[in-house]
Each structure stands twice: as structure tokens, then as C-alpha cells.
Amino acid sequence: MKTEKDTAGFYKRLEETLKNDTTWPAVYLYKFIVPTSPEKIAEIKTIFNDTNAEISSRDSSKGTYTSISINIRMKSPEAVIEKYKKVSKVEGVISL
């Protein structure tokens, strides 16, 4: 299990990478895997409501998991990380 220190370090490295490799604002692609559940999928989609995001989803071959791809124009690395933090509160979600 990840500690808060590990998570904070991950987000700090991600922020630095995004700052150095991308000119902002930019289109960013989020990818998540979540146990197939209409409630969990809706919870993730709600986080991106009113953002003009392109959201697509696909069930795994056994239907156990759903992959969700979200293509969205973001203002800054900080805005990208803010969305990751909100999605991380959805139980069982894996961010790719």
C-alpha cells in the first residue's frame, strides 16, 4: 500500500515532467481502469462534467473491469494533478 509520502512524491515528479515536456494549455489523455460498476463509472465521469472532455469506455473481455479514456484540454500541470487526486478517491480505480 502506498504511503502519503510516496503519493506526494509521485505527483511532484509528474508535475515536473508535465512542466518540462509540454506547453500549456494542452490536450491531456487520462486513462483509468475501474471495476465494472455503473456507479463508479458515473462517479469518474462526474469529475469531468462541464469540461468538454471526450470520454470513452470499454469493458474488459470478461466484463470485470472497464477502461475509461478521457481526452481533455487542461490549463496546467496542476490542473491535471487536481483531477487525478479527485479520481483517486473512487474506490478501486487504477490510474494509468
Residue spans of the domains in the chain: they are 4-95
Per-residue pLDDT of the chain (96 residues; tens, 9 = 90+): 456 667 888 899 999 999 999 999 999 999 999 999 999 999 999 999 988 999 999 999 999 999 999 999 999 999 999 999 999 999 999 999
How many angstroms separate the first and last alpha carbons of the chain?
Answer: 17
Task: Check: pTM over 0.75? Answer yes or no.
Answer: yes
Helix axes 77-87, 4-21, angle to 10 degrees: 150
Assigned superfamily of 4-95: ACT domain (3.30.70.260)
